[in-house]
Structure 1
């Protein structure tokens, strides 16, 4: 699960720390029990079935990820493939 980004969102926007069980929260939302903050990757199927909706799309938090490897390995085929795949997702 993507809990670090959720905790960071709560700290930045609500000055609190949250530790939710995201699957239970999502089920509760589907049944009309309120609103919550969830990672978008969990919502794709639920959004397409109109079970949930995004209320505040402008409230986002982004993570910077760093890939570290030994320079001598930079030409390894699997490493080059990984780097190219990561670049496409940005």
Structure 2
């Protein structure tokens, strides 16, 4: 099977593999495509496989354009929002903080 990756470092795939299989993936990227949506499109065209974020594949899976191979294996990501402390009281920033906390 041909693997599509975001970069030669296999960042997304490597993290998934280490989390669930406790080792580095022993795969070669057939295609490096630095655009996750383009990778999804290639998967939908039955050109190969990859590891992609849930938010990106939800519609594709719901519409049977792609499928999940290991539905019980998940990886969580922590997202950090950084800001200049001078802007902490700005109304737009406060609104963003409230939305992120939900």
Q: Does TM, scored on the shorter chain, surpass 0.5? A: yes
| Structure 2 unaligned spans of 5+ | 1-5
**How many residues get paired?**
86
State the alpha-carbon separation in 2 of the partners of residues 39 and 18 from structure 1: 20
Task: Spell out the pairing of 1:3-82 with structure 2 (5 A cutoff).
Answer: 3=6, 4-12=11-19, 13=21, 14-16=23-25, 20-21=32-33, 22-23=36-37, 25-33=39-47, 35-82=49-96
Report which stretch shifted further, 13-22 or 74-83: 13-22
Structure 1, unpaired ranges of 5+: none
8 A Cα contact 2:13 2:50, kept in partner? no
Q: Pick which of 7-16 and 78-87 moved more.
A: 7-16
- Tell me the TM-score normalised to structure 1 length: 0.62
Question: What's the CA shift for 1:80?
Answer: 0.7
The structure in which a higher percent of residues are strand is: 2
The structure with the largest helix share of the pair is 1
